[in-house]
Copies of this chain bind each other. A is one copy, B any other.
């Protein structure tokens, strides 16, 4: 072809060359466009004004975690907590699950108070559902999720330590709030905490769940959660409760081991009394605990068996806050 061009008269060759070059340029542009389209893309749902993600993420997706915080009717607490959580070491991104249906997200105020240490994405929900926080968010890039209730303050020290523990137990829910179920002679299960009788495996107490409202777990479990029986979603929607119990069932079934690893918090606080909204959280409803026992039994029916397993392992941080936490008489 090259030789053929050389043989053409000057003017025809010029036009052919022009055509050829144009085609090459167009092809290159198409290729460049395709490559750009393949790059990771942050979808700012309904948030075109949010700051774009910085070009370089300083935290690699393996050594960092994503905070997912669902919020309803306590924006003052949310913002107070975001000031704290946005600065936690190893945090990659924050996803706020906005259950305030019909209410605008505080985007102007958020942007006006930038820059922020990490990207914060507000995911507006169309229905106020407890299980909204268990979606498999496309913005989630890390293997680890930190899930926090919007009224819970856990110190940075506790979170840094618990994250390091999760990295050693990545298939478990590693968190700060242990609960258990017990079996009764009738075969009906009950849900509770220290006040319930010990399950009777040796000394001391046991726990069989770690609540996800203050815990690290693998983002893969959010994917798994999308594939559960419909009855599970119906149960959570009916009670507006028990999503955390369902997650513990899921994890226990998956691993065949205790779902959670309890890390003893040094400083964990509930801020609900500090809200101006007057709203004080679902667990104050009279039927809350009874509902959770109800959920345990329903889930055993749905999953055709009790997958939860007991553990009595309590993990604390060696030599923190001080040496007194491990020195002994010897």
Contacts and interface: CB of A to CB of B under 8 A. Distances in A.
A127 interface: no
Contacts of A314: 315-318, 325-326
A255 to B, nearest CB: 13
Interface string A214-232: 0000000000000000000
A330 B262 contact: no
Contacts of A198: 319
Interface in A182-239: 194, 198, 202-207
Contacts of A265: 328
Nearest to A313: B315
B194 A323 contact: yes
Interface stretch (A36-44, A136-144, A160-168, A300-308): A160-168
B262 A202 contact: no
A203 B162 CA distance: 12
B316 A316 contact: yes
A274 to B, nearest CB: 13
A167 B181 CA distance: 24
A268 interface: yes
Contact of A168 (B165, B268, B313, B319): B313
Contacts of A316: 264, 314-316
A330 B269 contact: yes
Interface in A257-310: 262, 264-265, 268-270
A284 to B, nearest CB: 13
A318 B168 contact: no
Contacts of A203: 157, 160-161, 317, 320
Nearest to A264: B326
A329 B262 CA distance: 16
A280 to B, nearest CB: 14
Contact of A320 (B152, B164, B312, B326): B312
A175 interface: no
A177 interface: yes
Interface string A168-183: 1000000011100000
Contacts of A264: 316, 325-326
A272 to B, nearest CB: 10
A64 interface: no
Contacts of A323: 194, 205
A52 interface: no
Nearest to A207: B318
A78 B268 CA distance: 46
A198 B262 CA distance: 25
Given A264-B316, A269-B330, 12 more contacts: A161-B203, A161-B204, A194-B319, A204-B318, A204-B321, A205-B318, A264-B326, A268-B328, A268-B329, A312-B319, A312-B320, A315-B315
